[in-house]
Chain A
């Protein structure tokens, strides 16, 4: 069965600190995505990638970097965490088709204090 895992599941960070969120998929999918979900809101796309060593900006990339070292792994990096980045972060993967289902991880709850 398709699987997307995320680590850590929960994290508390300090303002100005560096945070790295990790995502691993065993779906053999080329496409991977990072979304953030704020309380009471839908998901918004931060970055995505369609091949290793390459990333693309999504709708809200400011304040975030992404890294795709391999097909299976996709990281989201907050170089200088801010209070406004407190949210739940979801990673997803999909095949290379517009109508392809995205498989989501369980999410990482990030609190920046």
Chain B
């Protein structure tokens, strides 16, 4: 069975500070991994995705994520957050590494304060 764990339900940061959101996965092979963001009362939007190659992948809005096979992790980072980054962030992996839907973590709610 595959699963995604996001250990932090809520994170609070000051504007301009750095942000790291943790994600651990369980899957028998190297998974297709994603980070999505959900702004209030909206659907999800893709931030970045990863399958192979450079373990550090760049995404939209200056987000990046680092894949670690040894740690089964795919942590999301941003060097300097803005108040508009306040949202819920979801880590996900592709079911069976095919277009059969995504398995999501529970999400991390990020609040950015001025």
Contact = CB atoms under 8 A, between A and B. Distances in A.
A95 B99 contact: yes
Given A98-B97, A99-B32, A104 B44 contact: yes
A79 interface: no
Nearest to A48: B101
A96 B94 CA distance: 12
B113 interface: no
B46 to A, nearest CB: 5
B43 A106 contact: yes
Interface stretch (B12-20, B65-73, B75-83, B104-112): B104-112
Interface string A24-38: 000000010101000
A105 B43 contact: yes
A102 B102 contact: yes
B74 interface: no
A90 B99 contact: no
29 contacts: A4-B43, A33-B101, A33-B102, A40-B106, A42-B4, A42-B90, A42-B92, A42-B104, A42-B107, A43-B90, A44-B104, A45-B95, A45-B102, A48-B100, A50-B99, A58-B101, A92-B44, A94-B99, A96-B99, A98-B32, A99-B49, A99-B51, A101-B34, A101-B46, A102-B44, A104-B43, A104-B44, A104-B45, A105-B43
Indicate the size class of the contact surface on chain B. 20 to 34
Interface of A: 4, 31, 33, 35, 40-45, 48, 50, 56, 58-59, 90, 92, 94-102, 104-107
A98 B44 CA distance: 18
A110 to B, nearest CB: 15
A92 B38 CA distance: 14
A90 B107 contact: no
A97 B94 CA distance: 10
A83 B97 CA distance: 33
B42 interface: yes
A56 to B, nearest CB: 7
Nearest to A42: B104
